[in-house]
Amino acid sequence: MRFALLLFLLSIVTPCVYTQPYIPGQSYFGTNNYTEYVAGNMPVILSAPHGGLLSPAAIPDRNCSGCSTVNDFNTQELGRALAGALHERTGCWPHLVINRLHRRKLDANRDLPDAADGNPVAGQAWADFHNFLGYAKNDVSLQFGKGFYVDIHGHGHSIQRLELGYLLYSDELRLPDDTLNTPVFTGYSSIRNLSENNLQSLTHAELLRGSQSLGELLADRGYPATPSQSDPAPDAGEDYFSGGYNTARYSSYNGGSIDGVQIECNRTGIRDSLSQVERFADTLAVALLDYLGRHYFGGLAASFCGISDAAQSGVSWTCDVSPNPFCRSFQIRHSDSTADWTAGVYNFYGELVQFVPVSAGISVQITPPPGGPVFVVLRRNGEIMAVKTLLSACR
Ligand SMILES: [Zn+2]
Smallest Cα–Cα separation from 378: which of 308, 288, 285? 308
Domain boundary among 270, 302, 334: 302
Task: Measure 379 CA to ligand 1 centroid, in angstroms.
Answer: 40
Residues 76, 91, single domain; the answer is yes
Strands (E) in 122-231, as ranges, are 147-154, 162-165, 225-226
Q: How far apart are CA 225 and CA 273, in angstroms?
A: 20
pTM as predicted: 0.77
Asked if residue 386 lies in contact with residue 317, where contact means CB atoms within 8 angstroms, the answer is no
Mode of pairing for the β-strands spanning 44-48 and 95-99: parallel
Tell me whether residue 136 is in a domain.
yes
Whether 176 and 314 share a structural domain = no
Could you tell me if 131 and 244 lie in one domain?
A: yes
Spatial separation of the C-alpha atoms in residues 319 and 341, rounded to whole Å: 10
Residue 329 dihedral angles phi and psi, to the nearest 5°: -140, 160
Cα(261) to centroid(ligand 1), Å = 13
Can you give the CATH number for the domain in which 318 is found?
2.60.40.1930
Domain presence at residue 395: no
The Å distance, Cα 127 to ligand 1 centre, comes to 18
**Contact at 8 Å (CB) between 126 and 103?**
no
The reply to whether 347 and 276 lie within a common domain is: no
Q: Are residues 342 and 282 part of one domain?
A: no
* Separation of CA 93 and ligand 1 centre (Å): 23
Q: For the domain that residue 132 is a member of, what is the CATH number? A: 3.40.630.40
Residue where a domain terminates, one of 259, 285, 302: 302
Burial of 293 (0-12, 13-18, 19+ CB in 10 A): middle
In a domain, 145, yes or no: yes
Both 48 and 153 in a single domain? yes
Q: Is residue 93 situated within a structural domain?
A: yes
How far, in Å, is the centroid of ligand 1 from the Cα of 167? 15
Helix (H, G, I), strand (E, B) or coil at 251: coil
Sign of CA dihedral 211, 94, 155, 247: negative
Q: Do 239 and 321 share a domain, yes or no?
A: no
- C-alpha span between 347 and 350 (Å, rounded): 5
What is the domain count for the chain? 2
CA 44 to centroid of ligand 1, rounded, Å: 19
Report how far ligand 1's centroid is from the alpha carbon of 239 (Å): 14
From ligand 1's centre to the CA of 61, what distance in Å? 17
Question: How many Å lie between the centroid of ligand 1 and the Cα of residue 53?
Answer: 14
Residue 165 C-alpha to ligand 1 middle, in angstroms? Answer: 12
Give the domain range for residue 238. 2-302
- Ligand 1 midpoint to CA 200 (Å): 32
Residues 277 and 325 in one domain: no
> Could you tell me the distance, in angstroms and rounded to a whole number, from the CA of residue 139 to the centre of ligand 1?
25
The verdict on residue 294 lying in a domain is: yes
| 127 domain-assigned | yes
In this structure, the answer to whether residues 239 and 377 fall within a common structural domain is no
* CA–CA dist 377, 384 (Å, integer): 7
**Domain's final residue, options 284, 302, 320:** 302
What's the gap in Å between 154 CA and the centre of ligand 1? 6
pLDDT tens string, the chain, 395 residues long: the values are 333 443 344 334 332 223 347 889 999 999 999 999 999 999 999 999 999 999 999 999 999 999 999 999 999 999 999 999 999 988 889 999 999 999 999 999 999 999 999 999 999 999 999 999 999 999 888 878 899 999 999 999 999 999 999 999 999 999 999 999 999 999 999 999 999 999 999 999 999 999 999 999 999 999 999 999 999 999 999 999 999 999 999 999 999 999 999 999 999 999 999 999 999 999 999 999 999 999 998 876 656 775 444 444 456 777 888 887 788 899 998 888 888 999 988 876 677 889 999 999 899 999 988 877 788 888 888 777 777 777 777 76
Same domain, 289 and 353: no
Please tell me whether residues 8 and 115 are part of one structural domain.
yes
Is residue 389 within a helix (H) or strand (E), and if so which, with residue range? strand 383-390
Assess if residue 237 is contained within a domain.
Answer: yes
Q: Residue 262 domain-assigned? A: yes
Task: Please tell me whether residues 314 and 296 are part of one structural domain.
Answer: no
Distance from residue 150's CA to the centre of ligand 1 (Å):
12
